[in-house]
Amino acid sequence: MTAVVAPMRALALLFLFLSLAACSTVQTLDVGPPSAPRLSSTKYAAIVVDANSGRVLHEADSNAPRYPASLTKMMTLYMLFEAMELGRVSASTEIPVSAYAAKQPPTKIGFKPGQSIDVDSAIRALVTKSANDVAVAVAEYLGGTEEQFAQAMTAKARAIGMRGTIFRNASGLPDAGQQTTARDMAVLGIALRKRFPAYFPYFSSQNFAFRGRTIRGHNDLIGRVTGVDGIKTGYIRASGFNIATSVARDGRKLIVVVMGGDSARQRNDHVEELIERYLPKAFRAGV
């Protein structure tokens, strides 16, 4: 029990720091435009957070409501990681796929009702393929129904400091009531790294093998930008192209969230520019 309390206390302090930083723009925020042109979309929002200190280095409309799209699956995975930590499931636990889960629209793995997927493969399917059928299967397995699971996701969001987020489903598929903010997605990204260091490396997966197929991922920043080790991309028409990105380089760590890109390439180019501009300003651990 003691081993769990210390990390949670440190995490709570980090969230408090981040919350204070978000409200103290004069001292901690660089609100000037980055050197690359700001994305033109009215759906745009962004935040850059020093993941070592919790200090906000840059923000733009970071508390404005936005649609999370598949960034939602970051919380679905948080809930699954927590269930693993508590011993409710293991990496080999088989999750059944209901008819409702199987009929979810793409992207998905493509299960038939009654088939199943082990937890390890489910995690990889959510991280890489952003599989909607798997997200619903996980929700039903852990929560009974997707609606009940979404309520638990929202409660967990409040518990870790996400003040502007409401979840209605586990996948991020279109729902007018499902909203978040760039700041909240940064809080979630930091929570995933701090709370689940043993599971966080899943987010660096670029592909995985499942039943004789190689399933490839969507996060092109992994391998393209030095130090990027996840986390998640997302897109629906209402949101534009979203991404939450973790980067660790030379003792410095950032969480960068960009929402509302007009294309995946534009979004990725913008994130890369934000990383190169603000990473040198981040606290360097161990120095």
Which positions are catalytic? 70, 73, 130
Q: How far is CA 235 from CA 107, 199, 259, in A?
A: 11, 24, 9
CB atoms closer than 10 angstroms to residue 58: 21
Peptide bond into 181 cis (omega under 30): no
Contacts of 198 (CB under 8 A, 6+ apart): none
Is 129 annotated to bind a ligand? Reply is: no
Contact between 261 and 241 (Cβ < 8 Å): yes
Query: What does the chain come to in residues?
Result: 287
Amino acid letter at 220?
A: D
Could you give the CA distance from residue 115 to residue 112 in angstroms, rounded to a whole number? 6
Q: Extract the annotated binding site for substrate.
A: 232
Q: Extract the annotated binding site.
A: 232
